[in-house]
Amino acid sequence: MHEAVVGDALDTSFSVSLVWIPMLESDNETAAREEATLFAQPMVRHFWDADRQVGSAVARSLGGPGDAACDIYLFFAPDIAWIGEPPSPTAWLHQLGDRGWADPGRYRTGADLVESLALLRRQLLGAEP
């Protein structure tokens, strides 16, 4: 999974923001910090969102008001600025299952998720058509 999201650790032509939110009882800032060590490249920024503000804003922006998006992967073109509410992503995938607002065509798990994330990353970086 790590390689699919981050790719070559030397490639700094993009940035990754990981927002850790508490969705399960075991989700806390300490656990997030431990998991963050798996993504310790310079282009990766980590945020702890104890109140699920980012997850709620993302869910709202994708048609899920009142929910909090988690296990979701948003890709933005380089010229997209996130000011206030989240902009529409250039591409996105999720592991949200059958939540009504989450496009079922973007649902991926396991090896299919890893492959799809890597493909989207390469496409957005211009490495693949």
Q: Give pLDDT tens digits for 53-83.
A: 999 999 999 999 999 999 999 999 888 888 9
Own/partner long-range contacts of 118-123 (Cβ < 8 Å, ≥24 apart)? 118/3, 118/4, 118/7, 120/73, 120/75, 120/91, 120/93, 121/4, 121/5, 121/7, 121/14, 121/75, 122/7, 123/91
* Cα distances (Å, whole numbers) of residue 24 to 27, 32, 87, 117: 5, 12, 27, 24
Q: How much is the pTM? A: 0.83
Which residues of the chain fall short of a pLDDT of 70? 1-13, 127-129
Give the pLDDT of residue 101: 92
Give the pLDDT of residue 7: 57
Give the pLDDT of residue 4: 54
